[in-house]
């Protein structure tokens, strides 16, 4: 990386949220670093006054900071460049993607590894690479500029969009669809058999074949060790822009809206429907056939057993609106003392 602060601003788009360049516009940036350890030649991000002070002390080349911190830029800093940001978090994400992301094309293998097993019906488009021991079955459609890493299995009829990265050991089930610019981390299973069984009078289990599929939208991240089951007849759907942490499970026929955030330990039973921008913190569990509206936050190991129809923050199991949850916890902490008081009153009143 060898680029000036002026070039970074000129190469930016409105989506990068960069507003103005101050200071040494010719400062040369060689690396992106954390503000705590940044040094000469580094670009760092300073979200607050304390981090700005640290970055200045380290004499870094370029500091990206929120516009509101402009008043804290010292007047005599001829060596350092400053870029003001409308949204420091977004600027951090987009500039790191552009200039500091890992390059998966540097694995050292040729474009299609000799050990890969690819059906003759599959076309490998421009820019797509296939790693060691990958298996791609018949009639799979692959997009351009994909990275299919070691030991991935893509079953027959699956469709993969452009610029998708699939990490080692992942399985994409038959007929499943992955949108564009998705990231799927290691050892996830997309389109495994949904859990559908019927029992007879002797409690023997009879499998109900799951013949739907999984449809994943664009710009979705699926963390490591995730499982997303195919639908029984129709599709399990993950909307555009959803991001999943590691170790989450989505059962058959579930539908997620757009831009949801799903954290580790999430378990969602079959046929539930989540709206747009649902945030589920770690350990959230959702019962089957439940509907959750847009803009809902589920926290404190939330357990959802009924529909949620009003946006807001819900906590605990079964979930309560946050205000009620806080009151309930406060009362719970006093139960021991309340019990003692009741026992004392009972003795005084000679109640048995």
Say if residue 337's pLDDT is above 80: no
Q: Report pLDDT digits (tens) over 76-120.
A: 778 899 999 999 999 999 999 999 999 888 888 899 999 999 999
The domain that holds 21 is classified in CATH as: 3.40.1390.10
How large is the average pLDDT for residues 140-151? Answer: 97
Given 61, 79, 100, the domain boundary residue is 100
How large is the average pLDDT for residues 126-142? Answer: 97
Positions marked active-site: 252
Q: How many domains does the chain have?
A: 3
Of the candidates 238, 184, 242, 188, the residue with the CA atom closest to the CA atom of residue 213:
238
Q: How far is CA 2 from CA 10, 281, 285, in A?
A: 15, 40, 48
Whether 136 is covered by a domain: the verdict is: no
**The pairing of beta strand 296-299 with beta strand 312-315:** parallel
Pair of tokens at residue 200: 């007879």
Tell me how far apart the alpha carbons of residues 2 and 268 are, in angstroms, rounded to a whole number.
Answer: 47
3-state secondary structure the chain: CCEEHHHHHHHCCHHHCEEEEEECCCCEECEECCCCCCCCCEEEECCCHHHHHHHHHCCCCEEEEEHHHHHHCCCCCCCCEEEEECCHHHHHHHHHHHHHCCCHHHHCCCCECCCCEECCCCCCCCCCEECCCCEECCCCEECCCCEECCCCEECCCCEECCCCEECCCCEECCCCEECCCCEECCCCEEEECCCCEEECCCCCEEECCCCCEEEECCCCEECCCCEEECCCCCEEEECCCCEECCCCEECCCCEECCCCEECCCCEECCCCEECCCCEECCCCEECCCCEECCCEEEECCCEECCCECCCEEEECCCCEEHHHHHHHHHHHHCHHHHHHHHHHHHHHHCCC
Whether 159 is covered by a domain: the verdict is: no
Instruction: Sort 321 into a burial class: Cβ within 10 Å, 0-12 / 13-18 / 19+.
Output: middle
The domain that holds 193 is classified in CATH as: 2.160.10.10
Do 264 and 296 fall within a single domain?
A: yes
Report the percentage of the chain scoring pLDDT > 70.
99
Do 215 and 327 fall within a single domain?
A: no
pLDDT for the residue 1: 84
Q: How far is CA 139 from CA 82, 124, 174, 295, 307, in A?
A: 51, 12, 10, 39, 40
The range of the structural domain enclosing residue 43 comes to: 3-100
Do 327 and 199 fall within a single domain?
A: no
Among 49-53, 66-70, 236-240, 347-351, name the one with the lowest average pLDDT. Answer: 347-351
Pair of tokens at residue 88: 């420091």
Confidence of residue 351 (pLDDT cuts 50, 70, 90): low
Average pLDDT, the chain: 94
Among 56-60, 77-81, 174-178, 301-305, name the one with the lowest average pLDDT. Answer: 77-81
Whether 111 is covered by a domain: the verdict is: no
Given 58, 74, 100, the domain boundary residue is 100
Say if residue 165's pLDDT is above 70: yes
How large is the average pLDDT for residues 243-249? Answer: 98
Whether 134 is covered by a domain: the verdict is: no
> Is pLDDT larger for residue 105 or for residue 47?
47
Given 57, 74, 100, the domain boundary residue is 100
Whether 130 is covered by a domain: the verdict is: no
Confidence of residue 216 (pLDDT cuts 50, 70, 90): very high
Do 310 and 343 fall within a single domain?
A: no
- In which region does residue 280 sit, left (phi positive, over 0), alpha (psi from -120 to 50) or beta (all else)? beta
Measured at the CA of 106, the angle between CA 100 and CA 110, to 5 degrees, comes to: 155
Whether 216 is covered by a domain: the verdict is: yes
Tell me how far apart the alpha carbons of residues 131 and 141 are, in angstroms, rounded to a whole number.
Answer: 17
Helix pair 335-349, 322-333: axis angle to 10 deg: 50
Tell me how far apart the alpha carbons of residues 301 and 212 are, in angstroms, rounded to a whole number.
Answer: 30
Say if residue 236's pLDDT is above 90: yes
Tell me how far apart the alpha carbons of residues 137 and 200 are, in angstroms, rounded to a whole number.
Answer: 36
Of the candidates 63, 65, 60, the residue with the CA atom closest to the CA atom of residue 17:
65
Do 274 and 328 fall within a single domain?
A: no
Whether 128 is covered by a domain: the verdict is: no
pLDDT for the residue 283: 95
Do 261 and 330 fall within a single domain?
A: no
Do 191 and 311 fall within a single domain?
A: yes
Do 310 and 327 fall within a single domain?
A: no
Do 336 and 244 fall within a single domain?
A: no
Do 17 and 90 fall within a single domain?
A: yes
**Predicted TM-score (pTM) of this structure:** 0.89
Do 349 and 291 fall within a single domain?
A: no
Whether 131 is covered by a domain: the verdict is: no
Confidence of residue 348 (pLDDT cuts 50, 70, 90): confident
Say if residue 344's pLDDT is above 90: no
Do 308 and 344 fall within a single domain?
A: no
């Amino acid at each position: 990386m060898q680029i000036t602060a002026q070039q970074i601003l000129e190469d930016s788009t409105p989506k990068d949220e960069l507003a103005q360049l101050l200071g040494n516009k010719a400062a040369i940036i060689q690396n992106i670093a954390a503000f705590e350890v940044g040094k000469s030649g580094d670009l760092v991000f300073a979200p607050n006054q304390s981090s700005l002070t640290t970055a200045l002390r380290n004499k870094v080349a370029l500091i990206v900071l929120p516009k509101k911190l402009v008043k804290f830029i010292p007047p005599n800093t001829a060596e350092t460049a400053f870029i003001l940001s409308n949204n420091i978090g977004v600027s951090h994400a987009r500039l790191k993607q552009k200039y500091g992301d890992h390059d998966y094309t540097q694995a050292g293998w040729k474009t299609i590894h000799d050990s890969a097993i690819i059906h003759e019906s599959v076309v490998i488009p421009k820019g797509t690479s296939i790693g060691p021991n990958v298996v791609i079955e018949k009639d799979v459609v692959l997009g351009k500029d994909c990275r299919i890493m070691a030991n991935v299995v893509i079953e027959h009829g699956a469709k993969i969009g452009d610029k998708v990265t699939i990490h080692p050991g992942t399985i994409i089930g038959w007929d499943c669809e992955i949108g564009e610019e998705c990231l799927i981390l290691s050892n996830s299973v997309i389109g495994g058999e949904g859990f559908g069984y019927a029992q007879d009078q002797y409690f023997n289990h009879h499998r109900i074949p799951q013949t739907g599929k999984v449809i994943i939208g664009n710009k979705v991240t699926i963390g490591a060790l995730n499982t997303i089951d195919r639908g029984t007849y129709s599709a399990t759907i993950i909307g555009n822009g959803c991001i999943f942490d590691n170790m989450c499970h989505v059962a058959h026929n579930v539908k997620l809206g757009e831009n949801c955030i799903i954290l580790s330990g999430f378990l969602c039973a079959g046929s539930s429907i989540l709206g747009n921008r649902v945030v589920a913190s770690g350990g959230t569990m959702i019962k089957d056939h439940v509907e959750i509206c847009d803009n809902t936050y589920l926290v404190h190991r939330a357990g959802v057993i009924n529909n949620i129809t009003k946006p807001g923050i819900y906590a605990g199991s079964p979930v309560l609106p946050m205000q009620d949850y806080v009151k309930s916890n406060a009362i719970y902490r006093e139960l021991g003392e309340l019990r003692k008081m009741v026992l004392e009153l009972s003795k005084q009143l000679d109640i048995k």
